[in-house]
Structure 1
Amino acid sequence: MKIVGNVRLYWPILNIRTFLCSRAVLEYLQDSPEAYLVIEKVDLKDEGLYKCDVTYVNIHDDCKGVNFINFTTL
């Protein structure tokens, strides 16, 4: 476990791509303000803080670049 600010990381940051790539997909529609991270076969180890960093082709004032989602398994 590693503590970054007030966030506890239980999985090494560099391994997130490896363990999630085969089970997750980002679903979105072009020109839509919404996107969804869909994770198949959700496991307890998937619980944590996910960061979504968006890169825009055309940047304007209302572009939000970073969102954080606290994902909790029940």
Structure 2
Amino acid sequence: MITLNLLPGAIPELLACVRETQQIAKADRYGLMAAVLDESLAEDDRRCLDRLLRSICRGRVQIVDDLSTIG
């Protein structure tokens, strides 16, 4: 079985970047997928993740095909 280990602080950092750019990149979407599958995710990270996914569903965040929105 493959285990996924997210970097500490990765989800709040992603949320901050997405808030700043109003975009989410391809690599970030893979990070979200890994976070959704992580059953040991902390409650604060889960709330950040839910907030981010809600923003995407409501169209507040544009999905782009770039590899990264940072830079």
Please tell me the TM-score bracket, short chain as reference.
under 0.3
**If each structure's strand is expressed as a fraction of its own residues, which one has the higher value?**
1
What's the TM-score, normalizing by structure 2? Answer: 0.27
**TM-score, normalization by structure 1:** 0.26
Higher relative helix content: 2
Larger Rg: 1
Which gives a bigger RCO, structure 1 or 2 (Cα 8 Å, sep 6+)? 2
